[in-house]
Amino acid sequence: MNRFFRAVGTGLLAYCLALTSAHANVIIAGTRVVFPASEGEVTLRLSNENTSPALIEAWIDAGDEHSTPDKVNTPFLITPPLFRMEAHKDQSLRIIFSAGKQPLPTDRESLFWLNVLEIPPKPNGQEFAGKNYLQLAIRSRLKLFYRPAGLAGDANKAGAELSFKATAADKGYALVVHNPTPYYVTISELTLDSNGQSLKVDGDMVAPMSDLRLTVPGLTHAPAAGSTVQFDCINDYGAPSPFKSTLTP
């Protein structure tokens, strides 16, 4: 074979993840999908900004980053699931919830992942004739939040409800973040000001009504109650929203 990657026929998929230097030509409108249960379906727009067509395959998984369309089992349908996208054209994906397939909690959000795989066309120029070449398929993976109707509070203000406390960890201390809300909260950046230090902490996502443990590099002494925590949370539109809190005892 003179190609490292080949996709043949509907439903037959082999893929390789894109290298960090690779660039997706098919652009997805947004960085996350919020699916309100009251609407039954949502649409997502794709745009092909390349000068050549691409084959697009889309599917939704429940958290397995190695998922493939033939092995997923989620209560969502995507239409069209596989299609050719012409250069400089737009295409809408319809995501439909199938309620009878898999019941979901009604008191909190559920998290899924939308996969959009872009398969480039086979190069057909003379410069490729008889030569080996590397061809990459680029997969984009976005969070999909299924949001039941009637949840208390505001998802975009859920960061204000988070509480923080310090706990002993190996060779130092960590932060335990408690999320009492029914929403997933993604912390993108966090800074702890304590004992005359300003310490940066890697962000993460805390599930509804759950705790998250965050390692604090350089925190060797127990921070005092009332120490300041400043952090950004990603809202429904993919933008950071600033919040501020203090450590609880």
Residue 209 lies in a domain: yes
What's the pLDDT score for residue 125? 63
Among 147, 167, 182, the domain-final residue is 147
Structure tokens at 199: 């310490």
Number of domains in the chain: 2
Dist. CA 183–CA 51, nearest whole Å: 40
pLDDT digits (tens, 9 = 90+) for 69-95: 999 999 999 999 999 999 999 999 999
Tokens 């993460």, residue?
204
Measured CA to CA, the distance from residue 22 to residue 136 in angstroms comes to: 8
pTM for the complete prediction? 0.85
Would you give the DSSP letter of residue 198? E
Query: Which residues form the domain of 238?
Result: 155-246
pLDDT digits (tens, 9 = 90+) for 139-170: 999 999 999 999 999 999 999 999 999 999 88
Burial of 33 (0-12, 13-18, 19+ CB in 10 A): buried
For residue 141, the domain's CATH number is 2.60.40.10
